[in-house]
Amino acid sequence: MKTYGERIAELREKHGLTQEELAKILGIKRASLSHYEKNRRVPDYEVLNKIADHFQVTVDYLIGRTDDPNPLSAEHVEMFTQSLELSDEKIFEKFTLTVDGKELTPEEAKRFIAFVRAERSLP
């Protein structure tokens, strides 16, 4: 697993920034950034947040709690599920729809959608 210093250096290099440029963006000294990247010092909470915000990654990624720099938050998942269009056939290929813990067959899912459409058309 990569250290926080390796992850910071990797992100900086990936974005084509020098230590001097990133340090200026973060409002810290270049020497401090160098110490972070070499794991000689641990960035404080404020600096970690600035790094995470600048590179649009999570603090958990920076400190090694996850290898995914951009995991989906519960809010993102909720927004996604609220906007699912069940009439899209591709949904059935990618997701399992269940009722009472049992998986719906594609035919059951189509009947469910037909039922909802019929209900909506009633006065």
Check whether residue 49 and residue 87 sit in a common domain. Answer: no
Domain assignment of residue 105, yes or no: yes
Check whether residue 56 and residue 104 sit in a common domain. Answer: no
- Whether the per-residue pLDDT at 94 is higher than 70: the answer is yes
Q: Which long-range contacts (CB under 8 A, 24 or more apart) does 42-51 make?
A: 42/4, 43/4, 43/8, 50/25, 50/26, 51/8, 51/11, 51/26
58: domain CATH number is: 1.10.260.40
Domain assignment of residue 73, yes or no: no
Domain assignment of residue 76, yes or no: no
75 — pLDDT class (breaks 50, 70, 90) = low
Q: Give the pLDDT score at 16.
A: 97
d(CA 95, CA 16): 38
Check whether residue 58 and residue 102 sit in a common domain. Answer: no
Domain assignment of residue 14, yes or no: yes
* Single pTM value for the model: 0.59
**In DSSP terms, which residues pair with 99 in a beta bridge?**
102
Which residue segment(s) compose the domain that 97 sits in?
82-121
Q: How many CB atoms within 10 Å of residue 15?
A: 11
Q: How many CB atoms within 10 Å of residue 85?
A: 7
d(CA 57, CA 35): 21
83 — pLDDT class (breaks 50, 70, 90) = low
Domain assignment of residue 116, yes or no: yes
Domain assignment of residue 77, yes or no: no
Give me the number of domains the chain comprises.
Answer: 2
Per-residue pLDDT tens digits for 5-57: 999 999 999 999 999 999 999 999 999 999 999 999 999 999 999 999 999 99
73 — pLDDT class (breaks 50, 70, 90) = low
100 — pLDDT class (breaks 50, 70, 90) = confident
